[in-house]
Structure 1
């Protein structure tokens, strides 16, 4: 190379001049790198959130999986309870005591899996837990109180599995 060519490619100190297109290319590559890094961080965060949601959903599914089986058993448990009550008046004590033991055993098994009865009698009516079938005039209870439980309700953890079918108090009609 000639000295003049060498002189033009170097600045005054003898250092090479930065090429404008190389600087632009470097800036573009750095911006692209930053974009990719940002995308990587976002993707990583989204994946962690997905993992957390999946674990939460799997835990919830595991806890509430017994719900459909329990719901199917509740009618049989109700009939067992009715049979026990009916036999108390007519049959020898051993038979209804045996039915009571089976009934308690079934309820204990359900309770072990988080299924428990909803306490309704004497409580204020809650449409989330109770299904009002009858309004019953009652001067002894405040209006809107459950005064009779026609069918027991059940919940699994905090979810209602089957609402209680209840009679709710209303003010007696004035004569």
Structure 2
């Protein structure tokens, strides 16, 4: 009887001990944290790399846009400066050449005075003396001098290209002569029939000339 009771108590003890051991083992295993898997680390790394690439691409785009805008700004400044200079030059030219039509009309007056002077110099008195000292001649000559001074004051000057090389942009060839008829080189102006005029260094009327023929 006593041995039976002892055996029962031993069984109960071992059963309780096993239960405590199993419970401790289960609790210990549940308290342990599982380490992160390699796949999670790789996913996080790929996410960061993608974000960095996007930021780099955005910075490159902003840099390119900034360079493009800077270039456009510089070009706009250059265009504005060129426009300012061109406008200023046009204003100055307008001031210099605004009287050009009026000057061309006055050239006819100068031509008439030249014809009058040339005619009077050829007129002779009854006794054969040239009438260079006549009052009419002096009056016309003085008028021509005053007119030329007024021309010069406003930048209008006569052009007498005799002996110069013929330039079709500045001269108007009326006739040609052979080289043996002139001591001028070929292609040069031998005679000036009608003087030209320039306004502020710009030709407004070409001189009518006779040119030595080219061989």
Please give the TM-score of this superposition, normalised by the length of structure 2: 0.61
RMSD in angstroms over aligned alpha carbons?
Answer: 3.0
Call closer, same or farther: CA 1:27–1:136 in 2, change over 3 Å.
closer
Report how far residue 133 of structure 1 moved: 0.8
Give the structure with higher Rg (CA). Answer: 2
Deviations, residues 42-97 of structure 1 (Å, cap 9, x unaligned)? 21121112111221222223222222221221122101221232234267711121
Answer whether contact 1:141 1:169 (CA < 8 A) is retained.
Answer: no
C-alpha separation between the residues in 2 aligned to 1:148 and 1:155? Answer: 19
Aligned residue runs from structure 1 range 1-175, under 5 A: 19-20=51-52, 21=54, 24-88=57-121, 89=123, 93-137=134-178, 138-142=180-184, 143-170=186-213
Deviations, residues 81-136 of structure 1 (Å, cap 9, x unaligned)? 21232234267711121111111111111112222111222333332222111223
C-alpha separation between the residues in 2 aligned to 1:123 and 1:28? Answer: 65
Answer whether contact 2:182 2:212 (CA < 8 A) is retained.
Answer: no
Structure 1 SS opposite 2:174: strand
Answer whether contact 1:85 1:96 (CA < 8 A) is retained.
Answer: no
The structure where helix makes up a greater share of residues is 2
Q: How many pairs does the alignment contain?
A: 159
Structure 2 SS opposite 1:107: helix
Structure 1 SS opposite 2:190: strand
C-alpha separation between the residues in 2 aligned to 1:124 and 1:25? Answer: 69
Q: Whose RCO is larger (CA < 8 A, sep 6+)?
A: 1
Report how far residue 158 of structure 1 moved: 3.0
Structure 2 SS opposite 1:70: helix
